[in-house]
Amino acid sequence: MIEIKNLWKSFNSNQVLKSLYLTINDGESLVIIGKSGSGKSVLLKLIIGLLKPEMGEIWIEDENIVGMGFREVQKIRRRFGFVFQAAALFDSLTVADNVGLALRKIFDWSENKARSRIRECLAFVDLQGMENKYPAELSGGMKKRVGIARAIATYPRYILFDEPTTGLDPETAENINQLIVKLKKEMEVTSVVVTHDMHSAFTVGDRIALLYDGKIEVEGKPAEIRRMNHPEIQKFLIGYLLNKK
Ligand SMILES: Nc1ncnc2c1ncn2[C@@H]1O[C@H](COP(=O)(O)OP(=O)(O)OP(=O)(O)O)[C@@H](O)[C@H]1O
Ligand SMILES: [Mg+2]
């Protein structure tokens, strides 16, 4: 379980998070929505200790990572897979080497075992046989899937997705949504999905939380969110209903 309490984060005079509280339960898939610039990516980076808050607590199971040293945080980060907003692959490495990066660093595995895990993860995202391709040879959707394969390779307990469907056509986006659902079902991971795509939010979320004015303004089950009268939620819902076929 992840528990965030009274979290404050600013950049110079820009106060991005203001006393944010959030609990992420084991095995759930929590979606965080919020407009551009509201601090969604910053929140994910705080959870894995890539950014430091001015104040607050971030409990990863029974350890508060706020105030921890670099090495300690690095150890805890191994429990996480992170799918970045841009796929963030290394262009000079093959698909297999991109997927294998973290697992080669963390596990002392034989080459055969590493390769077999890479193959397994590529198959999970439906990219079997793509080991020797380079990122430049892949479409945007394929790159996102390589990013997911890389995130799951080390058997993380938690996977954080930053805008996994943004910039993809509807069919490719749906493909990624289904992958996130499959991850939850088959690997029992806890996921946090940041998005402003309400279709994606309703497809993958057990719970949806709105980040607004530096805190979690409202949260609820998808069905509750659909009925909510909050003006900011309404803006997201209107966009969603207008785009629905
Ligand atoms: N490293 C940084 N240095 C200074 N300001 C930053 C930094 N990272 C983020 N910010 C600022 O923090 C605010 C929140 O940024 P963040 O990237 O979390 O937004 P977001 O909700 O993810 O937006 P989007 O939906 O566009 O990705 C923005 O005002 C941004 O300019
Ligand atoms: Mg962002």
Q: How far apart are the first and last CA of the chain?
A: 37
Please tell me the predicted confidence (pLDDT) of residue 157. Answer: 95
| Chain mean pLDDT for the chain | 93
CA of 11 to the centre of ligand 1 (A): 9
Question: Is the CB of residue 70 below 6 angstroms from any atom belonging to ligand 1?
Answer: no
Average pLDDT over residues 177-184: 91
Instruction: Tell me the percentage of the chain whose pLDDT exceeds 90.
Output: 80
Please tell me the predicted confidence (pLDDT) of residue 240. Answer: 83
Interior angle at CA 9, CA 5 and CA 13, nearest 5 = 150
Average pLDDT over residues 192-198: 93
pLDDT beyond 60 at 245: no
Question: CA of 182: how far to CAs of 74, 186, 188, 193, in Å?
Answer: 28, 6, 9, 14
Q: Could you give the angle at which helices 95-106 and 140-152 cross, rounded to 10 degrees?
A: 20
Among all bound ligands, the one having the nearest atom to the CA of 38 is: 1
CA of 191 to the centre of ligand 1 (A): 21
Alpha-carbon distance of 191 to 160, in angstroms, equals 6
Please tell me the predicted confidence (pLDDT) of residue 187. Answer: 84
Phi-psi region of 213 (alpha: psi -120 to 50; beta: other; left: phi over 0): left
pLDDT beyond 60 at 143: yes
Task: Place 243 in a pLDDT band, splitting at 50, 70 and 90.
Answer: confident
Question: Is the CB of residue 36 below 6 angstroms from any atom belonging to ligand 1?
Answer: yes
Average pLDDT over residues 201-209: 96
Question: For 113, phi and psi rounded to 5 degrees?
Answer: -65, -40
Using only C-alpha atoms, the chain has a radius of gyration, in whole angstroms, of 18
Average pLDDT over residues 10-29: 97
Please tell me the predicted confidence (pLDDT) of residue 84. Answer: 84
pLDDT beyond 60 at 90: yes
CATH of domain 28-55+69-243: 3.40.50.300
How many Cα atoms occupy the beta-carbon half-sphere of 161 within 13 Å?
35
Q: Model pTM?
A: 0.93
pLDDT beyond 70 at 11: yes
| DSSP state, residue 166 | T
Instruction: Report which ligand 1 atom has the smallest distance to the Cα of 39.
Output: 18
Question: Is the CB of residue 214 below 6 angstroms from any atom belonging to ligand 1?
Answer: no
Question: Is the CB of residue 191 below 6 angstroms from any atom belonging to ligand 1?
Answer: no
Average pLDDT over residues 15-19: 97
Average pLDDT over residues 205-230: 95
Task: Place 57 in a pLDDT band, splitting at 50, 70 and 90.
Answer: very high
Instruction: Tell me the percentage of the chain whose pLDDT exceeds 70.
Output: 100
- Domain positions in the chain are 28-55+69-243
CA of 117 to the centre of ligand 2 (A): 30
User: How buried is 129 (Cβ within 10 angstroms: 0-12 exposed, 13-18 middle, 19+ buried)?
Assistant: exposed
